[in-house]
Structure 1
Amino acid sequence: MEAITPEHHYRKQTSVTYRKQLGQYFTPPAIASLMVSWISECNPTSVLDPAVGLGIFPSMYQPLDERAQTTWNVYDVDEAMVKATKDRTDSPPSINLHHSDFLEEDWEQMYDAVIANPPYLKMSTHQHKQTILTTFEEKLRLRLPGNTNMYNLFLLKGLNQLHQGGRAAFIVPSEFLNADYGKKIKQYLLDQKLLKYILITDFQHNWFEDALTTSVILLCERDATNDSVEFISMYTQEDLPNVHTYIATQADHDQPLGKRYLFDSLDASKKWRVYYQPSLLKELQQVKPFTEFGYASRGIATGANDFFCLRKSDIQDRSLSSSYWIPCITKAHQVKTPFFTEKDWQGLFEQNAPVTLLNLQSDRTLDIPIANYIQYGETHQFHLRYLTKHRSPWYKAEVRDPAPIWFRTFNRTKLQFVRNEAGIVHLTPFHSIYIHEKYQQDIPIIMAYFLTDIAEEVLKESRREYGQGLVKFEPNDLNHSYVFDFDVLTTYEKNEIRFLYEQIRECPYLSEEWEVYQSKLNDYFLDLLSIEKGVRAHLATYKL
């Protein structure tokens, strides 16, 4: 019978909401063992665990030399965590327990080793956010945005307090490797020459319960002679023993297990996915940056959807004039197919879905019903929300031109593009894709391309992973992506694509006929992209 671990017991005793509020996600024993083994190899006399949780790292630690004296300093803001660590380790004199916030502790004490699974929590929730960020800028000369996740700060501060010759092991969300905000973090790691191994976990598997994010293990060493880092991908938990053995040999392997790069060859401004995952782009011809043809921007953010998004019953009950609202898609599930028509919107409206957006302008006189509704909003303090309190007047929502194509922000099984035939606006569950004036007549051709498998695979190279198959795109991820070069199309080829597009447009979504025409479109663009037959043969199983 499997032993009940402290982590298992704690999860039974606390709610998911409470653990998420503190960013608590517990390290699996097999991963903890690898991380502890890494730091133990440098025979540390002092070890820092800045977010000790339930104490798995100090409880597993065994010095290589039994006569060695190793002192641990461990921190946690949750008193229950500190007590649990004390009970788990019997609180030997070599462990100093601190019920305090490591981010607010001094920067002077140095350590031979640092090991951590830091909290996954937005810095904006911290009551001393600005003071801490100012200190980081002074100490590291690194200005971090206010929405930085705390794990980045734990990583940077912990590494800053690592002695020369010391080792560090962190398990953190992998998203910073491929996100714009991660550029400064990656550049710091490169400048300091700290990275030794980056262990990438398979993006279809979560190591942590309750977490959507995926993880990366950073094994670091402050060694002035270090000039390279090795990326190693792990696809299942069964890969861990092989990786563990490989790293434990300590030798400079002639044949790397993963992909090794000199620090000078790594670009912090790039998504680092290019260094450890295969790139389909290398196989393609006839591609260009998407910004050659259009651009993406986020949907409308109201700051108070419960106030701004109205149902038919709200409009009728409050006698609101049609001049005060406009049709709007407010939730991703309201759109079921790649073609959204005025009839589709009308059906949602009649079903009393919240598919209208309050559209008030400050330069017009408001009638009594709408004035009463604004008063209702202020009574319920909608005007004090973060976004609304920074508007003047607060009830004037953002203005956006309807985009011809929408792209779903979060996708799980398949990327969702939608042709906005209704000509309406949408909120943030979708991004807007606008097409440059020069290519307005080619919108059906561009949409036809977006319906293909090859378009999806190319675009996925710009994605962000959040675990369990969930991927996210920010507008700039789309803007920095590549698409087929529509400029090379002849008039004949455009007509062929338009014909296939019109056929698929008339088919019931995902019907047999739909699949036939979608396959024909895919084959057509595969030929135009000049993909070799061998590449085409395995595209069906080629998943980034």
Structure 2
Amino acid sequence: MIFWFGELWLGSDGHFIEAPLNSYIKNLVRDRRIRIYGYEIDGEIISYLNGVKDKADLTLCNSDYLGAEPALFDSIICNPPYMRFQKFLNRHDVLPIIEKQIGKKLIGYSNIASVFLVKALNELKKNGRLAFIMPFEFFNTGYGREIKQSLLDNKLLKQIVVFSNEKEIFPDAITTVCILLCKNDGVEERIKITQINSNHDLSRITDISQYYHETIEPSRLPSKEKWTPILLSLFSSSPPPNDFVHLSTYGSFTRGIATGANEFFALRKSDVFNNSLPDKFICKCITKSSQIRKLVFTHEDFDKLYDLDKPVYCLNITDKPSDEVMKYIAGGESCGFHERYLTKMRNPWYKLEKRKSAPILCGVFNRGRIKVIRNLSEAISFTCFHCFYPNMFGEKLLNKIFIYMLSNIGQRIMKSNKRSYGGNLDKFEPGDLNDILLPNMSQFEMISEDEANEIVKIAVIDETQAIQMSNVLIQRIIDEKRVSMDQNSVKAVGNSASFIYSGYHFTS
């Protein structure tokens, strides 16, 4: 971070802000020409920094930066908190102040880091520079869309630093992060993209602005698009084919059912029996991700869980409750389930949304391979899985869509839309999954129904073989695309075309 600074910042009237303060500030205080302001709410950090206060023109504020009076600074460095803005206790006090300062509403900003960034960008002097550590998910979320647009419209974003081995560099980070480097100079230029692979890379950098691997035109980063797939494709030798289509062509993923009180709604065999709950008021339901351990979930798998007294039924009240059900509801109310956030939003509180069984399920949180399940049972799902509901086009391609998601190529392309957290934990929202790229209908025709059905049958008993067979079939599509592009290149040469498109090859 320190190497982002340049001599232009060392003027006698220079101002510098850092929020929150960190140990590297010692490197800055040696030059008394820099006037430093620091905001920090942690008293221990303030006490630590008081030891260097006398050696520099340093003003420490034991207060929240978001509540600070507007000011202008030559340079800003920030490692903001990454919690959801809704959990910020003082948000109702500081929000009107910041909105007045920047002249726009911040409703919908779901991560407090984005609010820090908006305020800081508004406090940069002309030609001022900013370095911000941000959660990587910022590039893919709805709340980041307006900020990305502002960065582009105001020609602020100059460089993005991403980390391929984050745990070595940020061992205590609980989410995947990146660094945004900005300058308020009003100059539109290609944005530099830097990939840091190790601490060794960091030790070799003397000027971060000159250490980059790719550049990209701002026009290639539309604010409405997810930036993660675009950025990762710069470092990938196997981008998805241009004529792949979004999953939304075939249907859509939605969240599983959010009950607000799983311990009340999830029912075991013994719960149903002990409370004499009629069959018409219960339905089959996957209530935990761990209940599915294979690629294909069948009726037999459900029955085994039921016989083991696992919670695989859900209270499903679609009619006037019977006396037995009313008694069970009363028991839930005595435990306060009706007063929870989600339940008190419903009327009546115990009536859930109506759902059908989804033929494909996708794990919300994943480590390593994305958990994709072909659901052949009648069970619906709680929020542990996102549920794919096909349209008229996807209905005929369910097994083919499944084996694509199962394949290494499909997994790799799907992961370009993920939201990463610490410990190699990846998260998907339904919208992330609906944006993933798949073969178009003509390409899927290269896989026969018999081939797709065979893989689903094998997936019931042999996960490894099913993945290997899926790889072969999806590679067939990629290879055909490559051959087609190569043939077009030959034709282009014969017609004196001005360019040749070189083919690519996915390796599974």
TM-score of the superposed pair, with normalisation by structure 1: 0.81
Q: Is 2:318 the partner of 1:366?
A: no
Alignment of 1:129-144 (within 5 A): 129-144=91-106
Q: Is the 8 A contact 2:285 2:379 kept in 1?
A: yes
Distance in 2 between the 1:328 and 1:227 partners? 53
Secondary structure, aligned partner of 2:416 = helix
Distance in 1 between the 2:320 and 2:54 partners? 69
How many positions carry a matched residue from both structures? Answer: 488
Aligned to 1:301: 258
Q: Which deviations, in whole Å up to 9, do the C-alpha atoms of 1:346-367 show, x marking residues without a partner?
A: 2222223222222124x50431
Q: Is 2:433 the partner of 1:469?
A: no
Distance in 2 between the 1:516 and 1:262 partners? 38
Alignment of 1:44-59 (within 5 A): 45-52=14-21, 55-59=22-26
AA matched with 2:285 = C
Q: CA RMSD in A?
A: 2.9
Distance in 2 between the 1:349 and 1:37 partners? 60
- Which deviates further from its counterpart, 136-145 or 226-235? 136-145
AA matched with 2:130 = A
Distance in 2 between the 1:175 and 1:78 partners? 26
Alignment of 1:384-399 (within 5 A): 384-399=339-354
Q: Which deviations, in whole Å up to 9, do the C-alpha atoms of 1:209-244 show, x marking residues without a partner?
A: 4433111112222223453421111111211134x3
Deviation at 1:467, TM superposition (A): 4.2
Alignment of 1:168-247 (within 5 A): 168-202=130-164, 205=167, 207-225=169-187, 227-242=189-204, 244-247=205-208
Distance in 1 between the 2:444 and 2:119 partners? 53
Aligned to 1:446: 401
Deviation at 1:157, TM superposition (A): 0.9
Distance in 1 between the 2:19 and 2:467 partners? 53
Alignment of 1:347-496 (within 5 A): 347-361=304-318, 363-367=319-323, 369-490=324-445, 493-496=447-450
Q: Is 2:65 the partner of 1:110?
A: no
Secondary structure, aligned partner of 1:455 = helix
Q: Is 2:488 the partner of 1:539?
A: no
AA matched with 2:62 = H
Q: Is the 8 A contact 2:358 2:375 kept in 1?
A: yes
Aligned CA distance change for structure 1 residues 47 and 194 (closer, same or farther; 3 Å) = same
User: Which segments of 5 or more consecutive residues in structure 1 lack a partner in the other structure?
Assistant: 1-33
Distance in 2 between the 1:102 and 1:206 partners? 29
AA matched with 2:333 = E
Q: Is the 8 A contact 2:284 2:378 kept in 1?
A: no
Deviation at 1:385, TM superposition (A): 1.8
AA matched with 1:245 = T
Q: Is the 8 A contact 1:409 1:430 kept in 2?
A: yes
TM-score of the superposed pair, with normalisation by structure 2: 0.86
Distance in 2 between the 1:94 and 1:77 partners? 20
Q: Is the 8 A contact 1:330 1:429 kept in 2?
A: yes
Aligned to 1:10: none
Distance in 2 between the 1:469 and 1:126 partners? 26
Q: Is the 8 A contact 1:118 1:151 kept in 2?
A: yes
Q: Is the 8 A contact 1:281 1:458 kept in 2?
A: no
Distance in 2 between the 1:499 and 1:435 partners? 17
Aligned CA distance change for structure 1 residues 295 and 226 (closer, same or farther; 3 Å) = closer
Q: Is 2:10 the partner of 1:43?
A: yes
Distance in 2 between the 1:173 and 1:207 partners? 15
Q: Is the 8 A contact 1:500 1:521 kept in 2?
A: no
Aligned to 1:83: 47
Aligned to 1:121: 83
Aligned to 2:469: 517
Aligned to 2:490: none
Aligned CA distance change for structure 1 residues 263 and 42 (closer, same or farther; 3 Å) = farther
- The match for 1:277 among 205, 208, 233 is 233
Secondary structure, aligned partner of 1:152 = helix
Q: Which deviations, in whole Å up to 9, do the C-alpha atoms of 1:459-507 show, x marking residues without a partner?
A: 22322222443322211112122111124555x8424423533552454
Instruction: Give the fraction of aligned pairs with identical amino acids, expressed as a percent.
Output: 30
Secondary structure, aligned partner of 1:347 = helix
Distance in 2 between the 1:318 and 1:92 partners? 73
Q: Which deviations, in whole Å up to 9, do the C-alpha atoms of 1:359-404 show, x marking residues without a partner?
A: 124x50431x432332332232222222112111112122222111
Deviation at 1:206, TM superposition (A): 5.5
Q: Which deviations, in whole Å up to 9, do the C-alpha atoms of 1:234-275 show, x marking residues without a partner?
A: 111211134x32436xxxx6xx73222343453222222314
Q: Is 2:58 the partner of 1:95?
A: yes
AA matched with 1:98 = C
AA matched with 1:420 = N
Aligned CA distance change for structure 1 residues 139 and 471 (closer, same or farther; 3 Å) = same
Distance in 2 between the 1:103 and 1:116 partners? 12
- Which deviates further from its counterpart, 308-317 or 521-530? 521-530
